[in-house]
């Protein structure tokens, strides 16, 4: 019975220690943020007023001041009576590349971190520059975008975008239609008589109803663009530098392994970030003898003192929030000289007979727990034999 109790107690202790170690090695990084300091880069899609994947269909005397493109579909209809004051690219290499660039721009816009989310009807708002997100976005009255020539607005609609009949989107303070973008997860509709500003990048389709005017672009990544007696003006004079996308860090590396005094140690802290992050110890301390390279995140050196050392490392690149992760490194005592009994070994050197070569490589935390369990069980059995 005593033997069973001893084993149960040992197992419970091992589980508790393993749980504590697991908690100590969990990163505490904040959610990463992706930002941009200028307009979305449309690449070769920029000259297009209309760009679609399946069809472009027009009804009535629409006027398109910009290029019209389609790829890979083949059906562009309604011109005339529609007029294209630009170049029509029907299933050619120019349209194919523009659609590829549209996909890149769409993904960049979708990946940005909003300054406000959970939005719906934007009617009556006067919005400063930034990234705004919602499930279904709409404008049923007037929306004002107030800024300067360098100001950028990016709207993320996870589902649909609806611009109501007679709705008006205006830019003030010298702001430019060049820098207004609407990323739409499915389809967009511009209602009859609406006055709309900005570049629509819809994942599926865009429909402009009768007499709607657009100062911007209607770009459909996988579906159709449908027009009805509309006037479209692709933005011109867009000289504002294209923005650079920046991503705050997220620490991606595993927890550092244990080490041993007198044995060279190496571990690399890694993170996903654009641009690359710099690293620093912001609380606690590394084991004596180890340092961290701020540029590469490499923890290296030769630890000198056994013990357990807790610390927090940060990764930052100027785009908040910085990432942090808290770790614990356990440094074992230096290996015993050749031929000397290992401290803690049972009578007769049972540990040496186990076939484990201490000092040949750092033990993992879990292996160390298992090794301690083996030693205690062996000693317990030895004492039981003596007692019997």
In the prediction, which pLDDT does 239 show?
A: 76
* Nearest by Cα to 207 from 155, 157, 161, 168: 161
In the prediction, which pLDDT does 30 show?
A: 53
Whole-number Å distance between alpha carbons of 65 and 75: 20
* Nearest by Cα to 330 from 260, 253, 255: 260
Strands 75-77, 116-121: pairing kind: unpaired
Whole-number Å distance between alpha carbons of 102 and 212: 23
CA of residue 170 relative to chain centroid, distance: 32
Whole-number Å distance between alpha carbons of 64 and 47: 12
What one-character DSSP code corresponds to residue 27? B
Whole-number Å distance between alpha carbons of 269 and 305: 22
SS3 at position 360: coil
Find where tokens 């449309």 sit.
42
Residues 175, 147 contacting (CB under 8 angstroms): yes
In the prediction, which pLDDT does 154 show?
A: 98
Residue 12 makes CB contacts below 8 A (sequence gap 6+) with: none
Largest Cα–Cα distance of the chain, in whole Å? Answer: 107
In the prediction, which pLDDT does 336 show?
A: 78
Query: Which is it for the CA torsion 43, 44, 47, 50, positive or negative?
Result: negative
Q: Give me the DSSP letters along 303-359.
A: --S-EEEEEEEEEE-SSSSPEEEEEEEEEEPPPPPTTSPPTTPPTT-HHHHTT--TT
In the prediction, which pLDDT does 330 show?
A: 97
- The pTM (predicted TM-score) of the whole model is 0.69
Domains of the chain: 2-33+246-335+361-387 (2.60.40.10), 38-233 (no CATH)
Strands 323-332, 307-316: pairing kind: antiparallel
Find where tokens 């399946």 sit.
54
| Residue spans of alpha helices (H) in the chain | 2-24, 93-110, 350-353, 365-387
Query: How distant, in Å, are the alpha carbons of 49, 159, 231, 291, 337 from that of 216?
Result: 7, 21, 10, 54, 78
Q: How many helices (H) and strands (E) does the chain have?
A: 4, 31
Residues in the chain predicted with pLDDT less than 50, given as ranges, are 1-29, 342-388
Instruction: Label residue 305 exposed, middle or buried (CB < 10 Å: 0-12, 13-18, 19+).
Output: exposed
Whole-number Å distance between alpha carbons of 241 and 46: 14
CA-atom Rg of the chain in angstroms: 32
């Amino acid at each position: 019975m005593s033997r069973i109790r001893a084993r149960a107690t040992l197992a419970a202790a091992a589980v508790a220690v393993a749980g504590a170690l697991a908690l100590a090695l969990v990163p505490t990084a904040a959610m990463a943020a992706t930002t941009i300091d200028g307009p979305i880069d449309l690449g070769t899609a920029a000259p297009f007023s209309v760009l679609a994947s399946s069809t472009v269909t027009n009804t009535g005397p629409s006027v398109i001041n910009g290029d019209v493109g389609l790829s890979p579909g083949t059906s562009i209809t309604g011109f005339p009576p529609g007029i294209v004051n630009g170049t029509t690219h029907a299933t050619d290499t120019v349209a194919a590349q523009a659609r590829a660039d549209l996909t890149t721009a769409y993904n960049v816009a979708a990946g940005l971190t909003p300054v406000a989310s959970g939005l719906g009807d934007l009617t009556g708002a006067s919005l400063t520059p930034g990234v705004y997100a919602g499930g279904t976005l709409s404008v049923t009255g007037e929306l004002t975008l107030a800024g300067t020539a360098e100001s950028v607005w990016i709207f993320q609609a996870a589902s649909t975008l609806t611009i109501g009949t007679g709705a008006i989107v205006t830019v003030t303070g010298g702001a430019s239609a060049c820098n207004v973008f609407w990323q739409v997860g499915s389809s967009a509709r511009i209602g009859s008589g609406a006055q709309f500003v900005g570049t629509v990048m819809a994942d599926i389709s865009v429909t402009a109803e009768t007499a709607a005017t657009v100062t911007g672009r209607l770009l459909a990544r996988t579906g159709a663009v449908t027009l009805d007696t509309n006037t479209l003006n692709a933005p011109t004079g867009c000289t504002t530098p294209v923005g650079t996308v920046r991503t705050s860090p997220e620490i991606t590396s595993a927890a550092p392994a244990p080490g041993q005094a007198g044995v060279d140690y190496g571990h690399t802290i890694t993170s996903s970030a654009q641009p690359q992050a710099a690293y620093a110890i912001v609380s606690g301390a590394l084991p004596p003898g180890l340092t961290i390279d701020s540029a590469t995140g490499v923890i290296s050196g030769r630890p000198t003192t056994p013990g357990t050392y807790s610390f927090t490392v940060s990764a930052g690149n100027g785009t908040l929030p910085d990432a942090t992760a808290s770790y614990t490194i356990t440094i074992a005592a230096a290996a015993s000289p050749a031929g000397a009994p290992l401290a803690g070994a049972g009578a007769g050197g049972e540990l040496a007979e186990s076939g484990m070569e201490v000092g040949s490589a750092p033990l993992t935390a879990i292996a160390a727990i298992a090794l301690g369990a083996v030693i205690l069980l062996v000693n317990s059995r030895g004492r039981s034999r003596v007692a019997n």
